[in-house]
Structure 1
Amino acid sequence: MRTYFPMILGLLLTACNTPGPHFRGLPATRVTVDGSTFDVRVRDRLAEALRVNPEYAPRFGPIRGRAAVAMQKVSGCKVTEVRGDQALATGLLDCGNGPPRVTMRPGSAYACTPVAALGSETEYECDPI
């Protein structure tokens, strides 16, 4: 039994950072928004933001907004709805008439900081890290 414990623990830990079935095999773009770090993947009119950093008891409300910013920055599309939970969020994209315009290089990492508040929307600028 003791010989199986490290193997079981390893399998459980590797499952913590696994994309959903629709996004498997796609490279992730790592984006940090207001202290939350996400691996973002885009396929068709959907985006997935998988939170990869530890945060103490986050509520989905603030995480939802940060995930939406990350998905919008990576896809180049407006995020119309975010579903999911604190760890894994899926966004519905409105890209107009064309496909998503991926604006950040997959496999890279970016940090997004707020630069201006326009009405109820905050504008973010993202730089490679």
Structure 2
Amino acid sequence: MWRCVPILLVAACGAASPEFRGAPVTRLVVDGSVFDVRLRGDLAEAVRVNPQYAPRLGPIGPRAGIAMEQVSGCQVVGVLGDQAVMTGVLDCGGRPKDWALPAATGRAR
């Protein structure tokens, strides 16, 4: 008999990667996938925060790209990452980006 049954708790975590820490976050849904999107310079980060079967980037990548485009107003020219955290390269056609934050210098401020 089992006296102790291990319990696996799955929780969605929308924490930003170090490069996007401190950037404002926008949450939106694209085709059933929920993303937290952050922008910095010419890059966007989409963190999928809903539990969803996604064994690979394939079906999730294009959704993340759409989310990044909706938040930034720019075209996404490439998406890399895995099924949970994706980084997109933005092409804003030379327009100034008002979300741009100073790049991390490695020094405490």
Report the number of matched residues: 90
Gaps of 5+ in 1: 1-12, 103-129
Do the aligned partners of 1:38 and 1:70 also contact (CA within 8 Å) in 2? yes
Q: Structure 1 length normalisation: TM-score?
A: 0.64
- Structure with greater proportional helix content: 1
Partner of 2:90 in structure 1?
93
Gaps of 5+ in 2: 1-9, 100-109
In the alignment, the residues of structure 1 paired with residue 11 and residue 56 of structure 2 have an alpha-carbon distance, to the nearest angstrom, of: 24
- Structure with greater proportional strand content: 1
In the alignment, the residues of structure 2 paired with residue 25 and residue 101 of structure 1 have an alpha-carbon distance, to the nearest angstrom, of: 15
Matched, 1:26 2:29: no
Are residues 64 and 76 of structure 1, via their aligned partners in 2, closer, same or farther at CA, if it must alter by over 3 Å?
Answer: same
* Identical pairs, percent: 60
Are residues 26 and 62 of structure 1, via their aligned partners in 2, closer, same or farther at CA, if it must alter by over 3 Å?
Answer: same
